[in-house]
């Protein structure tokens, strides 16, 4: 897939779900168009509404509303935490524990980055599983909150920074190995789970890795670790 090709994974009368490539921001940066501009141009939409975000380095599912009413409804679902997001991540570092929850407040660090603290006044909460394969470890992540850089900070706090996420001490690679692979929610009384597998990244596309993805295609049915099982930074 070209880094500038943005496939539509799911179409609804009120919204589309795209597979955002890694390396494209949601907003324009200088001469580089943001994801909405790209999708409008490629798929000939007059206007799209952004209702949530993915980091520039992250690939995967992003919902774009097709009208203002749907944008308001979807934004409300996100603010009520009624839309659950699931991610794949890879690391080449052994985690402090293989599954559980990562809970802690996030504070601004330097250079626009964040850090996890021991306090829990308004904590970021992330549940996760992990499994070793091909010399790496695949993490399946379920953020219960939606804070900026939450998963990248959580992985660093585990001692397993995301492969390719050099901003958070990850080992250099061909991309940052974080992919939003599934969304689960109810919209206008219709229950839906939408998923898409990574399309780029030599390690994401490794045969041993791709063989594991089918285990997690219905993530809302998995036995997720309890949120109270905390991992300190």
Active site residues: 55
CB 200 within 8 A of CB 187: no
Distances (CA, A) of 115 to 9, 41, 119, 139: 33, 37, 12, 20
State the Rg of the chain over Cα. Answer: 17
CA distance 115 to 117: 7
Helices (H), 80-233: 150-157, 207-213
Question: β-pairing, 59-65 with 178-187?
Answer: parallel
Q: What is the DSSP string of 8-58?
A: EEEE-SSEEEEEEPTT--SS-BTTB--HHHHHHHHHT-S--EE-S---TT-
CB 183 within 8 A of CB 194: yes
CA distance 10 to 166: 32
């Amino acid at each position: 897939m070209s880094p500038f090709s943005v496939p539509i994974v799911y179409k609804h009368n009120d919204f589309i779900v795209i597979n955002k490539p890694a390396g494209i921001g949601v907003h324009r940066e200088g001469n580089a168009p943001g994801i909405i501009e790209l999708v409008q141009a490629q798929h000939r939409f007059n206007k799209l509404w952004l209702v949530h975000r993915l980091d520039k380095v992250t690939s995967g599912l992003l919902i774009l509303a097709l009208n203002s009413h749907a944008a308001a409804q979807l934004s409300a679902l996100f603010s009520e935490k009624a839309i659950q997001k699931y991610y794949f991540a890879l690391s080449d570092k052994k985690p402090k524990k293989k599954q559980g929850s990562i809970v802690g407040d996030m504070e601004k660090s330097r250079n626009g980055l964040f850090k996890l603290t021991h306090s829990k006044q308004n904590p970021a909460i992330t549940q996760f599983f992990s499994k070793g394969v091909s010399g790496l470890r695949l993490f399946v992540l379920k953020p219960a909150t939606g804070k900026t850089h939450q998963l990248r900070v959580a992985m660093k706090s585990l001692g397993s920074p995301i492969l390719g996420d050099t901003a958070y001490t990850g080992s250099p690679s061909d991309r940052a190995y974080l992919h939003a692979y599934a969304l689960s929610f109810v919209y206008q009384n219709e229950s839906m789970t939408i998923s898409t597998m990574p399309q780029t990244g030599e390690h994401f596309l490794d045969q041993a890795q791709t063989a594991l993805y089918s285990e997690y295609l219905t993530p809302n049915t998995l036995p997720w670790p309890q949120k109270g099982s905390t991992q300190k930074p």
